[in-house]
Structures are given as C-alpha cells and as structure tokens.
Amino acid sequence: MILNNIYGLRWKVLPPAAGVAMIGMAALALITAPTEVIEGDVQRLLYVHLPSALASYFAFTVTAVCSVLFLLKRDFKWDSAAQGAAIVGLIFTLLTLITGSLWGKPIWGVYWQWDPRITTTLILFLIFSAYLIARKSTSLDSDKSARFCAVYAIIGFLDIPLIHMSVRWWRTLHPQPIIAKLNPSLPDEMLLVTLFSVLAVILVAAWFITLGVETELLSQRLLKLKAIAKANISEKS
C-alpha cells in the first residue's frame, strides 16, 4: 500500500523536480562554473556529456534488471518495462555521442576518433538499437522473441563496464574517471556543478523511463484487448 502511494506520486514529483533541477543545472553550468583555462567555454559541454552517459547506463541497467525479472517470472510487464527503459537509454547514448563529438572537434581537431571509449559507446548504441528493432519486429506477446531479446539485453549490458574500463585497459584520448577518484582532478566548483548536473539529468532520465515504461505497458494492454475482442468476434461468427 505504501509503495503504491509512493509510485502514485510519480506524476506529481518527477516532472517538477526534473524541471527545477534542469533550470538549476543550466544556471550553474553557464554562469557559476568557472571557464576552463585551456579548453575555454567548450568545456562546459562536460555538464551535459558526462550526465548523459551516466543516464544511459542507468536506463540500460533498468532494461537489464527488467529482462532478468521477465526470464524469472515470465510476466510481459517486465518485457514492456525493459523496452521502455531501452528507448530512454538510446536517447541519452545518442546525446552522449553528439556532445562528445562537439567537444572533440575544437580539442582533437576532428568530430570523430575511433577511440576505445567512443567506439564502445557506439557499440552500446548499436546493441540496444538492434534489441529494440528485434523486439518491435515480432509480436509483443511472443514468448520466444521476448526471451531471446531479454537474454540479448542482459549480454549487451556487459558493454557498460567495458566502456568504463576502456580508459584503463587501452590507450585512449579520454581522461581517467574524474568523479570516481578519491581525489577528483576537477576544481571544487566544477566538481559540484558536475555532480548537480548528474543528479538533474538522472531525474530527467527517471521521468522519461517512467513515461516509456507506461507507454509500453499501455501498448501491451491494448494488444490484449484486441486479442479478446477478436476472440469474441470469432465466437459470435
């Protein structure tokens, strides 16, 4: 009962919280955060680029967890939830790639490099694009397709730790993780703005995931209603 009441507040809490957080993020990133000495104002893309990457990991984690739950429970609501979260993950992965390219051009001189982190992030985008194409191209109530795609999503999720470790395992243009360190390399003001930006974008991602999941669940219900209506028509005829 308590959990249902909390879940029922999602439309009252998430949209305004995400909106306020994004306004605060924009103000901090554009006004409060100091200009980086070497890179200049283009470095402010950090406050979108990094949070977008983490938001995509968050969404794909939801996809993987829901896929595991579907395999355990065989309840299609988990399959629908996995699809809804995957759509959000793709949006933020694409945003990560775009902001990374815009940031890379003035720093590296090109929009694209086959850098290990960039490449593995692109692979993540392709993996879950294929997941959604495969799942949407078959019947939503196809147990065989749902099981195959659930296993595929779980395996595809393993690319995320690979992305994280790519800067440690291979020579890369990307810097070492700046937040995970005990002594982050960012100045305090930049670090605080970065952390706030991560929180703001994660809130937006949570809101989008809620929308995506409920849209997919609605599609599942409509499919069931159509099947019932079709069965009733067949019986009458």
> So where are the chain's domains?
16-177+185-236
Rounded to an integer, the average pLDDT of 25-39 is 86
Q: Is 40 helix (H, G, I), strand (E, B) or coil?
A: strand
pLDDT band at 185 (very low <50, low <70, confident <90, very high): low
User: What does the pLDDT look like over 192-215, one tens digit per residue?
Assistant: 898 999 999 999 999 898 888 888
User: What does the pLDDT look like over 152-169, one tens digit per residue?
Assistant: 999 999 999 999 888 777
Q: Rounded to whole angstroms, what are the CA distances from 97 to 94, 170, 183?
A: 5, 19, 27
Phi, psi of 36 (to 5 degrees): -65, 135
| Contact residues for 115 (Cβ-Cβ < 8 A; gap 6+) | 172, 173, 174
Q: Rounded to whole angstroms, what are the CA distances from 237 to 193, 225, 226, 228, 231?
A: 66, 18, 16, 14, 10
pLDDT-above-70 percentage for the chain: 84
Closest residue by Cα to residue 205 from 49, 35, 67, 85: 85
How high is the mean pLDDT of the chain? Answer: 84
